Structure formats: C-alpha cells, structure tokens
Structure 1
Amino acid sequence: MIRRLALLSVSLVLLVATGCTAKPEPTPPTAPGAAASRPSPFEECTALTDGPTAPTGDAAPVGDLLPELSLPCFTGGAPVALRDVAGPAVINIWASWCPPCREELPALQRLSQRSAGQLRVIGVNTRDSREAAQSIGEDFGVRFPTLFDQGEALQRALRRNAFPLTMFVDADRRIRHIDTSGALDDARLAELVRQHLGITVPA
C-alpha cells in the first residue's frame, strides 16, 4: 500500500512538472504595417509644380527666389523642390504647438478654397511630429498640401525663426513679402494677397 502511494505521488509530480515546462504555442508575428495608420487630411503635393507661370515681361525681377530646397510631402511621394512650385502661392510655416498658427490655419484653408485657380496655399509643418500635425489637420479641417520640414531647413534658408511665418510668392517664384506679424485673419490675408500678388480674392 505504501509502495503504491509512493508510485502515485511520483507520477503526479512528473505530470505537474511536464505541464509547467511545456512550451506555449508560438504567437504569429504581426506583419509590418498591419496596423493601418489614419489617412492624411492634407492633399497630395503632386500638382504643386504643374501649370505655367506668368511671364516676367520687361519688368526687372523683384524679390528673392525661393530657396533651392526640396522637402517631403506630408502624404508621401517624391520630395517637392520649392523652386519648381508654380506660383503665385501663399506658403505658411506652422507647428501644432504654436497658438497663432492654430488660430490662422482655418483662415488659410478658406483662402485656399476661395482662391482656387488663382493661387496656391501650401503649408510647411516644422519642429513638429507627424501625429500632432495630423491631429491639427483633422481638427481644423485643413486640406491644402503640406510639406514636412522636421529639420527646419526652410527657416534656416530664409534666416527667419518666427512662428507663424507666411510667404507671398509671385508667378516667377520670387518672394514678394514675408509676414511675421502673428495670426492672419481672412481680411488681412486678402489684403496681403492683393497688395503683394495683385490678386483679388473673392469674399
């Protein structure tokens, strides 16, 4: 009887030990990109260099050319060479953490809609994360094409450090005005576009 109990105890110990050391079923690895990211709220940049620019004529060129600089588009694809952007254009440098930037982004979006076919509105997101910029685009309904400049290359090329910063670029790709006065509203944007680019934006 004692021998039977001893054998039974040894058997139970072996069963428990075998169960504890058994390897669990391997978990299938997650394929790269399996978690789909949110679609970008911004438009693609493919059309930024399309379309002829207006002739300079006999007038002497005014203003500096856009820097010789290429920046990635927020939505991906080939980098955009700034000097290839077909003007006229309003180029706004912004960041999600900048309160005046957030304040003026809806006005820039309305400018983009009202001036379609007359000029381009382009955003340059800098000193920011893609996640934060994406959230601002979604929350504020910003749709115009946006370049991503995490390394502040454009501001360094311009030798400007202000936020927000808005450039008014003519059809010859020359910078006619750089505004660093703070958040621009609809009326001020329309005034600057008329003054520096000679374009009247519909109300």
Structure 2
Amino acid sequence: MNRRIIALLLPLLLAGTAACTATGAEEAATPSRPRAERPSPFEDCAKLTTPVAAATPTSGTATPDAADPTGGTGDPLPALTLSCFTGGAPVALRDVRGPAVINIWASWCPPCRKELPAFQRLSKRAGDRLHVIGVNGQDSRSAAQSIGEDLGVGFPMLVDQGTALQRALNRNAFPLTLLVDAQGRVVHTDASGALDDARLGELVREHLGVAVPA
C-alpha cells in the first residue's frame, strides 16, 4: 500500500521540483534592471540649428587674424553629423547656425577641465547672440557627465568618440576651439591650451564681431 502511494506521489514531487528549478533558472538568466541614468547636465541640442539673434558689432567689423591663412573667410564646417549627449536628433554640423564657438574636449585632459568653466560663463554672458557648443571626444559617457555636473557646465554637448571632427580638420589636439561665423565658416582655430575669460572675449570680438559683457 505504502509503495503504491509513493509511486503515485513521486511524479508530482518531481514535477514540483522541476518547476521550481526552471523558475530559478529563468530568474538567474534575467539580468537585474539597471539603475536609471542620471539626467544629462547639458542642454538640448535642437537650438543649435536655429539662427542666433543679430550679433552686437564692435567698432568696425571683425578683423581676420593675420596668421590665419584663410584671410578670415575660412572653410565650412566638415560634413559630419554628431549625436547629442542629451539625446534627440543628431546634429549635422553644416546645419549649425553661427556665430558659434565650438570647444572640443575630454575629461582626462587637464587644460580642458581648466577652461570649461570659462566657456560656461561665455555661454551665459553671450545669451542668444552666440552659440557655445561642446564636442566630447575619446571619453566615456559617465566621465563626461561627471565633469558637467562637477564644473556646472550646461551648454549643448555633442559626442564624437571617433574624433571624426578633429581628423576632418587635420588637428590632433585637446582642447581645440573653433570660431564659426554666421555663414558656418571656421574663421579661427585655437589649440594654444586652456583659454580664460579674457582671451575668449578677445577671440569672439576679433573673429566673430560679437562683444560679450565682462
């Protein structure tokens, strides 16, 4: 009698054990949900293709740099499309409406970290008369995000991990700053190292004809 009862119950016990094992295997195979990403410290990039307000001219017009072989006319921005750190539609550089200052940087570059706050202040002081744009390259998203948070940098940020922009410009330097006129031409390139508020103001006034309040 006992043997018959055991024989009847054994398949049920095995079935219950198999179900528990299958459930455990499914749970182990299902990765835990990642923690929600921190919100981006940088602004959206949509406004970069919107014309800026009329620039406030300085006395006279912008004077070309004597050392600039383009004579102040400059070449158009490369025909590249970069993703926006914050998300949304990628940005075609030739759709960017100047005047604009583009700063190419990486979190591991000490001069980059030193000058980023000056670009943030320039962005605030210039208001809607000038686009200030960052391009983060050869970096991790988390490192770039931390720099933005720690230094209070919030202007729009593009991402170029393959350094396609620098290669198109035939430049291999961090930091690298481009001054782009209202026609989308690169009228000056600076690779001299960390720029401060005074030097940035001089470059913007000289090459873009925009006077930025101190």
Q: Shorter-chain TM-score category?
A: 0.7 to 0.9
1:52 CA displacement: 6.7
2:38: which partner in 1? 38
Alpha-carbon distance change, 84 to 61 in structure 1, aligned in 2, over 3 angstroms? farther
1:152: which partner in 2? 163
TM-score, normalised to structure 1's length?
0.82
Specify which of 165, 178, 188 is matched with residue 189 of structure 2: 178
Find the aligned partners of 1:52 and 1:184 in 2 and give their Cα distance.
23
1:76: which partner in 2? 87
Find the aligned partners of 2:87 and 2:204 in 1 and give their Cα distance.
29
Alpha-carbon distance change, 52 to 101 in structure 1, aligned in 2, over 3 angstroms? closer
Q: How many residues align?
A: 186
Residue 122 (str. 1) matches residue 140 (str. 2): no
1:25-104 map, 5 Å = 26=24, 27=27, 29=30, 35-51=35-51, 62-104=73-115
CA contact (8 A) 1:53 1:171 kept: no
1:182 CA displacement: 0.3
TM-score, normalised to structure 2's length?
0.78
Structure 1, gaps ≥5 residues long: 1-17, 55-59
Looking at CA atoms only, which structure, 1 or 2, has the larger radius of gyration? Answer: 1
1:35 CA displacement: 2.1
Q: Percent identity?
A: 67
1:154 CA displacement: 0.3
CA contact (8 A) 1:53 1:86 kept: no
Q: Deviations over 1:44-100 (max 9, x none)?
A: 10111012797xxxxx98110000110000011111000100100000000000000
1:117 CA displacement: 1.2
What is the aligned-residue RMSD (CA, Å)?
A: 2.9
Alpha-carbon distance change, 94 to 52 in structure 1, aligned in 2, over 3 angstroms? closer
CA contact (8 A) 1:53 1:87 kept: no
Find the aligned partners of 1:124 and 1:110 in 2 and give their Cα distance.
17
Higher helix share: 2
Higher relative contact order (CA 8 A, sep 6+): 2
